[in-house]
Amino acid sequence: MSRSVPQMLEDWEPVIGLEVHVQLATRTKAFSPSAVHFGEPPNSLTDPLVLGMPGTLPVFNKLALELALKLGVATSSKIRARSRFARKQYFYPDLPKGYQISQYDEPLCEHGHLDVLVGTTVKRVRLTRIHLEEDAGKNTHVGAVSHVDLNRAGVPLVEVVSEPELSSAEEAAEFMRSLHRLVRWLEISEADMEKGQLRCDANVSVRLRGEDRLGQRTELKNINSFRFVQNAVEHEIARQLRIVDDGGRIERETRLWDADAGQSAPMRSKEEANDYRYFPDPDLPPLVVDGSTMGTILHALPELPLPRFERYQTAGIARDDARTLISDRAMADYFDAACLAHPAGHAGHGGRTIANWMLTELLGALNTDGKDIRESPMAAETLSALVVLVEDGTISGKIGKEIFAESYKTGEAPLAIIDRRDVRQISDEPALWEIIDNVVKASPKQAEAYAAGKDGLFGFFVGAVMKATNSRANPVMTTDLLKKRLGR
Amino acid sequence: MSEWWSVVETARRIADGEVTAFRVVEDMLVRITRVDRDLGAYLEIDGDGARTAANEIDRKRKAGEKLGPLAGVPIALKDNLVTKGIVTTAGSKILAGWVPPYEGTAVEKLRAAGAVILGKTNLDEFGMGSSTERSAFKKTKNPWDSSRVPGGSSGGSAAAVAAGLCAASLGTDTGGSIRQPAAFSGVVGIKPTYGRVSRWGVVAFASSLDQVGPLARTVGDAALILQTICGHDPRDATSLDVPVPDFSAALAAGARGLRVGLPKEYFAGELEEHVRAALDRTIAALRDQGAEIVEVSLPHTHLALPAYYIVAPAEASSNLARYDGIRYGLRVEAPDLLTQYSKTRGAGFGPEVKRRIMLGTYALRSGYYDAYYKKAQQIRTLIKRDFDAAFESCDVLLTPTTPTTAFRFGAKATPLDMYLADVFTLSCNLAGLPGMSVPCGLTPEGLPVGAQLLGKPLDEVTLLRAGAAIEAAVGLGDRRPGGFA
């Protein structure tokens, strides 16, 4: 009887490195003018180059370079001033030229890092390299017939390769989430995993704790959702642990993850591995990144998610709220715009209150409507104004939620709704005293009982005041004045 | 006879209304029908397309519209140049019947200048050969002696020009494939500086070496065609964005004051007696015209052939990977993918192409890159430096284009023998320089000899100037190949 995974993990350490392919959001392909789009009829987005016709030549799409540079800069990578495209050669029907244009020994970016939020800590994962390449087409097999769709062929990609320093399936999944968030944050990719815009291969090995050398690794392919990353890596770690813990040896191989079956199967062994015969692509001159391009990229780089996360926490936003706010750049931008419109800014009460309203009321409403923050019918400034109206006592929080709902639905300004509905909070002391006095006089028995020590009746009087004022009475003042009037 | 008119003369007579473009093309088509059955220069004749284009030129002239500089001039194209709507095979069975949906840049530029495309000429399969014997489809004879090869790989283009089956033609030159057949067939051939002419629409052999260039009967004609096809092309990332000078302007400048370098390595080895004699006469003639003759050295010349036979096959092995039978061209059906690949490529490629694919695949194997491809690229740098140093003491280099005159069919028994036929022309491609072959006389048995001129990068003007001087002094004049005159 073999030991359980947690038992084995006491002795063995998993080591995971990821290779993530990210489709870049260009309008045209990496080396030719065909459009890039998902879900078009097969082979409608092709041209002579994409079809690998004789005599065609690649010309690199400069926008792809800019997008890749953004990621390079955002991950503090060393950018190569002169990188090179190389041909990676193998035969497959989805690869029309018989080679993929990629980068080999002179990649665009090296030695960067990605900060990954794991639980309550930030783990810095080093990136070996980020390089540019083109996507392949897609084969589908229907019975004995195979179809080739080249719409995806030639779509620009970056391949992000991490150092083997992730130590659990959870970390691998969090790495993917962080990268996903970052590329969307930088607007370099839609990174929709269902559309294959973000794809992941994982290199997994295990070694005895304290050992420096890496164990024999296997490569897992076809893990195309965050959940699959976690499941596939977890499954592979367990598979390897069972082998090594029994004194067995891991074979170097490529394994294909089958999400439906929840397991992986060998795809090819080391012996069957391709010799890609890399060499510099003679059709493409060295890729030169000049100072002015770098200047433009640096200048346009937005504040990144993690620095923003830290900033929000420093401003007093709860950790979970801060984390939600940085899940999407549009969300963080919305929050910042709302805070900017608030007299107190991010600090203290302002930021916290706005975060509360945004994450409960606004996200709740958007969620119900199936909308994204980008499609919010309520401007950040409007939400901010509403929060101020609650904070300064113009309306109560309860009324505020109603005003929110109406303004969200109709687009009418909160103040206008308040005036039209006549729901301003009553904070005028003499006026409120008179109302309270009438309420107490109308219920002499209850007043007597309260005076005799029946504390529970206080709520009855608050309710009565609210009823009498149509919920407009300032709740804090109501409590104060009621206590005075009731004598306790 | 309009068939023997020069490019310049044809364009002038049509522009002046002395003859219609239709007449010129029709006469040429008739002549091709008569002569080419035996000569074998063409793989494909586009008679209808040529007549339509000629009619359009005539209509434009009648309507008083502006005519291009090549209006009505009948031109032939090597069949590795992609032509929209006209079968393009690169001389290979694997591409038999392929009709391209797009047009190459050089062809587009010729058409825009008014040239009339007659058809596609024979070549060694994918440009891999020096005799045109390696075409998958037919032999092309040398117009000067039908028992001999026209050279290659642009043998069809050279033979068509030499035999008066077009006014001029385009070829491609990867290691001498324009200049060597030009020398064997007694015509002028130019390989421009790498990057001068777009490679968009050139069926790739070795991407870092391939260039398109003209073959013509006179230096002036070659200059005019070159003028038309040069220029930056955004569709080719290796195309040079530099101004194109007026190539015809310096033609009449003569050789006076020109410093002509003779690289001693090119004269030291085995050189056929009559080739040496023709070169000696050429050198003397240039000296008589006031050129200064200087001896120079290109010490790494002996490394050109081995470096070339690493670089060219390596790139070819990659460039030819696309011929897999999946999307176009030949497909041999088989029950599984791997078998389909091997059967298709086994049946589609000829032995020389397979040999080079294997050489190149071997050279690029993992772990061998540094020893082969990278080393060969370093040799290219050395060869380039040799030229840079030589050009400090001269303006242009003069060498024989080939060690021998045209050889007989089947004479090159081994691949290496065939490779050695290009020994003088390879360095130029490795260094990216412009090169030219210009006829410099006939041997006593009536075979043409070619003088090769090599220039500084982008200095085609000096090549043409020196070429024109050689043409005037020792060129073939009105001598035509007897069998096809």
CB atoms within 10 A of CB B257: 11
| Mean per-residue pLDDT of chain B | 96
Among A202, A184, A204, residue whose Cα is nearest residue A193? A184
Residue that is last in its domain, among A254, A276, A296: A296
Range of the domain at A331: 303-421
A440 lies in the same domain as A387: no
The shortest C-alpha distance from A99 to chain B (Å) reads: 7
Active site residue B153: yes
CA A277 from centroid of its chain's CA atoms: 37
Confirm if B406 and B145 have CB atoms less than 8 A apart: yes
Using alpha carbons only, give the angle A439, A442, A448 rounded to the nearest 5 degrees: 95
- Residue A164 shares a structural domain with residue A237: yes
Inter-chain touch A52–B236, beta carbons under 8 Å: no
Task: Indicate if A355 and A481 belong to the same structural domain.
Answer: no
CA–CA separation, A89 and A70 (whole Å): 28
Q: Note whether A121 and A195 are same-domain residues.
A: yes
CA B89 to chain CA centroid, Å, is: 17
Give me the CATH number covering residue A451.
1.10.10.410
Are A292 and A308 in the same domain?
A: no
Q: Does A33 touch chain B (CB under 8 A)?
A: no
Would you list the domain boundaries of chain B? 2-256+429-484
Residues B153, B169, B198, B437: which is the catalytic one? B153
Task: Report the complex ipTM.
Answer: 0.96
Query: Chain B interface residues facing chain A, Cβ-Cβ under 8 Å?
Result: 81-82, 88, 90, 95, 98, 100-102, 104, 199-204, 206-208, 234-238, 314-315, 317-318, 320-322, 324, 326-328, 337, 341, 361, 364-366, 369, 373
Q: How far is B209 from chain A (nearest CA, A)?
A: 9
Cβ(B182)–Cβ(B450) below 8 Å:
yes
Question: Measuring CA to CA, which residue among B193, B241, B243, B176 is closest to residue B418?
Answer: B176
- A144 touching chain B per CB within 8 A: no
Residues of A in contact with B200 (CB under 8 A): 55-57
Helix (H) or strand (E) holding B317: helix B304-319
Domain match, A54 and A128 both = yes
Contact A278, A104 (CB under 8 A): yes
Cβ within 8 Å, pair A285-B237? yes
- Rounded distance between C-alpha atoms, residue B464 and residue B437, angstroms: 10
CA of A98, closest CA in chain B: separation in Å? 5
Interface A:B, Cβ pairs < 8 A: 102
Three-state secondary structure along chain A?
CCCCHHHHHHHEEEEEEEEEEEECCCCECCCCCCECCCCCCCCCCCCCCCCCCCCCCCCCCHHHHHHHHHHHHHCCCEECCEECCEEEECCCCCCCCCEEEECCCCCCEEEEEEEEEECCEEEEEEEEEEEEEECCCEEEEECCEEEEECCCCCCEEEEEEECCCECCHHHHHHHHHHHHHHHHHCCCCCCCHHHCCEEEEEEEEEEECCCCCCCCCEEEEEECCHHHHHHHHHHHHHHHHHHHHCCCCCCCEEEEEECCCCEEEEEEEHHHCCCCCCEECCCCCCEECCHHHHHHHHHHCCCCHHHHHHHHHHCCCCHHHHHHHCCCHHHHHHHHHHHHHCCCCCCHHHHHHHHHHHHHHHHHHHHHHCCCHHHCCCCHHHHHHHHHHHHCCCCCHHHHHHHHHHHHHHCCCHHHHHHHHCCCCECCHHHHHHHHHHHHHHCHHHHHHHHCCCHHHHHHHHHHHHHHHCCCECHHHHHHHHHHHHCC
Q: State how many domains chain A has.
A: 3
Q: Which of A263, A296, A329 is the last residue of a domain?
A: A296
A96 neighbourhood in chain B, CB within 8 Å: 322, 326-327
Domain match, A386 and A434 both:
no
Helix (H/G/I), strand (E/B), else coil: B173 = strand
- DSSP reduced 3-state for B99: coil
For residue B217, how many C-alpha atoms fall within 13 Å in the half-sphere facing its CB? 25
Same domain (yes/no): A131, A238: yes
Separation in Å, CA of A94 to nearest CA in chain B: 9
Query: Helix, strand, or coil here: B133?
Result: coil
Q: Is B207 a catalytic residue?
A: no
Phi, psi for residue A22 in degrees, rounded to 5: -120, 120
Q: Chain A residue with minimal CA distance to B316?
A: A282
Domain B2-256+429-484 maps to which CATH number in 3.40.50.720, 3.40.50.1820, 1.10.10.10, 3.90.1300.10? 3.90.1300.10
Nearest CB neighbour to B373, from listed A97, A148, A279: A279
**Would you say B453 and B434 are in contact if contact means Cβ atoms under 8 Å apart?**
no
- From first to last of the 488 residues of chain A, give the pLDDT tens digit: 578 888 899 899 999 999 999 999 999 999 999 999 998 999 999 999 999 999 999 999 999 999 999 999 999 999 999 999 999 999 999 999 999 999 999 999 999 999 998 887 889 999 999 999 999 999 988 888 889 999 999 999 999 999 999 999 999 999 999 999 999 999 999 999 989 999 999 999 999 999 899 999 999 987 888 888 899 999 999 999 999 988 889 988 888 888 888 888 888 776 666 799 999 999 999 999 999 999 999 999 999 999 999 999 888 888 889 999 998 999 999 999 988 888 777 666 678 889 989 999 898 989 999 998 999 899 999 998 888 888 888 888 888 888 898 889 998 888 888 888 887 888 888 888 898 888 888 888 888 888 888 888 888 988 988 888 888 888 888 888 888 888 76
B177 is catalytic: yes
DSSP β-bridge partners for residue B81: B202
What is the tens place of the pLDDT at every residue in B298-320?
A: 999 999 999 999 999 999 999 99
Q: Which residues contact B449 (CB under 8 A, 6 or more apart)?
A: B183, B274, B275, B278, B279, B400, B405, B439, B440, B441, B442, B443
Burial class (CB in 10 A: 0-12, 13-18, 19+), A417: buried
A409 and A438 in a common domain = no
Asked if A39 and A144 sit in the same domain, the reply is yes
Same domain (yes/no): A235, A352: no
- Of the candidates B78, B109, B120, B191, the residue annotated as catalytic is B78
Burial class (CB in 10 A: 0-12, 13-18, 19+), A300: exposed
Beta pairing class for A253-258 and A218-223: parallel
Q: Do A25 and A123 fall within a single domain?
A: yes
Are the Cβ atoms of B366 and A56 closer than 8 angstroms? no
Residues of chain A found within 8 Å of residue B337, distances taken between Cβ atoms: 93, 146
Averaged pLDDT, B326-330: 96
Find chain B residues with C-beta within 8 A of A60's C-beta.
237
Domain boundary among the residues A405, A421, A437 is at A421
Give me the residue from A98, A279, A285 closest to B322, CB to CB: A98
pLDDT at B363: 95
